[in-house]
Structure 1
């Protein structure tokens, strides 16, 4: 199959594109800078550019759309331009080019209003209740995508939950950097039960969705490892793998959420590009249970995760050990 992968310069997009290449597909990647995926043809551009998008989709039979503005802060208009209008533009051009299958890579946050989630499946995306501009615009984009589903243009939304692995700058590097500076607190003693997704598993689930489109199109599916752990245990595992001290002090979750809301507004007002130390959304994620029932997802995708959480942490330790040989003896 001729497959276009958007956002392949990121951790998950790169793994998705690489897996497709290894499976023998003809892969083109589309993002603002070269993806570096061996065996894939790079097409550099932005989903905000009509001409670039029209050119990128030509000849594709399937599209996996991962490109997005992912941040805890930023101007609302920037999220709208990339996440909503960019998805709308890609959908329109894909249909015009005769693309058959479209996998929209979404997020469980599209259906999360901040309340605890314990053992649910994929609830409906709700932009009005989603917290933060990232979640709001991903919810709007998911609804746009699924509304385009027909037997001739098949669309599915896959929501991988908290993806991490070697080379991850979104979660792992931030955790380690803050832990080394002793600025990584546990919220409510790190007791909240959460699930995550090792990057290889997230990628294989997304590719499985492309192959299973006949059975799943028109639906949204949440993907995770299916191994919920307390936040404190997960953070300690990441810190151990990266040779950083585990967090040892706690802050009440309510205090962190209130402080995060203030910091988030100040960061956006000041136009700062770096991520703030805390936001309301991040505080919610660290102090509220969120894990999902994976039985339906695994049945519909005919898929199971190949890498367990403990195996993923071992791979993370191997990665940091290869970069810092002294960690092998720690």
Structure 2
């Protein structure tokens, strides 16, 4: 099968492309910079470049769409242009090119309004109540994608929850950088129970969705390791693997959320490019329980995660050379 993977220069997109190549598929990749995936045909460009996108889609039978603007802050128009309009353009071109299957890689944040998530499934994407422009535009794009599902093209949405692994700059590097400078507090003592997804597992679930489109098209599923842990323990495991001291000071979650909202507005208005010390979304993620029931996901995808959290942390320790990570309590 000829499969196009967008956003393959990222951690998750790259692993998806590698797994497809390993399975013997004819793989193309499309992103702004070279993907570096051995065995894949690489196309470069943006989702707003019709000519480049058309060339990448040509001959594709399936598309896995990961390319997105992923950021804590930024101008709303930038998120709209990439995440909503870019997805709309890709779906239109996919239909015109006769692509049969599209897996849209979404996010659990599309259905998260800030309250605790305890054992839920894939709730309806809700742009109106999503927190932040990233979540809002991903929700809009997911609704667009699933609305395109029909007799001529099958579309499914997969929402990997907090993906991490060696080489991760979205979670792991931020945790280690903040912890090393004592800028990573535990909110509410780090007691919130959360689940995450090791990158290999997230990629294999996404690939499984492409293979199981008959069962999953028209639906959204949330993917995680299915091993909820207190966030304080998870952060300690990541810090241990990276060879830095874990966070040891705590801040009330309500105070952090209020401060984060103020800081986020200031950063956006000022057009600052560096990462702010706190945002409302980040404070919610660090202080609110969010873990999901994986039974429906595993049944629909005929999939189970191959790498446990403890094995993932051991691989992370090997990557950083500390070799000190052991099983979490």
TM-score using structure 2 length: 0.98
Describe how 1:149-298 pairs up with structure 2 within 5 A: 149-298=149-298
State the alpha-carbon separation in 2 of the partners of residues 137 and 329 from structure 1: 40
SS of 2:200 mapped into structure 1: helix
Over residues 301-320 of structure 1, what are the superposed CA-to-partner deviations in whole Å (9 max), with x where a residue is unaligned? Answer: 00000000000000000000
State the alpha-carbon separation in 2 of the partners of residues 254 and 272 from structure 1: 25
2:302 is equivalent to residue 302 of structure 1 = yes
Q: Which residue in 1 is equivalent to 2:111? A: 111
Q: Is the 8 A contact 2:241 2:314 kept in 1?
A: yes
Q: Which residue in 1 is equivalent to 2:12? A: 12
Over residues 217-255 of structure 1, what are the superposed CA-to-partner deviations in whole Å (9 max), with x where a residue is unaligned? Answer: 000000000000000000000000000101000000000
Describe how 1:42-53 pairs up with structure 2 within 5 A: 42-53=42-53
Describe how 1:23-172 pairs up with structure 2 within 5 A: 23-172=23-172
Mark the CA change 1:306 to 1:252 in structure 2 (over 3 Å): closer, same or farther. same
Q: Which residue in 2 is equivalent to 1:324? A: none
- 1:129, distance to aligned residue in structure 2 (A): 0.5
- Cα RMSD of the aligned pairs, angstroms, is 0.9
- 1:151, distance to aligned residue in structure 2 (A): 2.8
State the alpha-carbon separation in 1 of the partners of residues 243 and 75 from structure 2: 35
SS of 2:273 mapped into structure 1: coil
State the alpha-carbon separation in 2 of the partners of residues 156 and 328 from structure 1: 39
SS of 2:17 mapped into structure 1: helix
Q: Is the 8 A contact 2:241 2:323 kept in 1?
A: no
Mark the CA change 1:131 to 1:184 in structure 2 (over 3 Å): closer, same or farther. same
Over residues 43-66 of structure 1, what are the superposed CA-to-partner deviations in whole Å (9 max), with x where a residue is unaligned? Answer: 000001122211211100000000
- 1:152, distance to aligned residue in structure 2 (A): 2.2
SS of 2:149 mapped into structure 1: coil
SS of 2:240 mapped into structure 1: helix
State the alpha-carbon separation in 2 of the partners of residues 64 and 329 from structure 1: 36
State the alpha-carbon separation in 2 of the partners of residues 145 and 25 from structure 1: 24
- 1:271, distance to aligned residue in structure 2 (A): 1.1
Q: Is the 8 A contact 2:241 2:324 kept in 1?
A: no
- 1:329, distance to aligned residue in structure 2 (A): 7.3
Over residues 8-62 of structure 1, what are the superposed CA-to-partner deviations in whole Å (9 max), with x where a residue is unaligned? Answer: 0000000000000000000000000000011111100000112221121110000
Show structure 1 runs of 5+ residues with no match: 322-326
State the alpha-carbon separation in 1 of the partners of residues 267 and 293 from structure 2: 35
Mark the CA change 1:181 to 1:123 in structure 2 (over 3 Å): closer, same or farther. same
Residue correspondences, number: 325
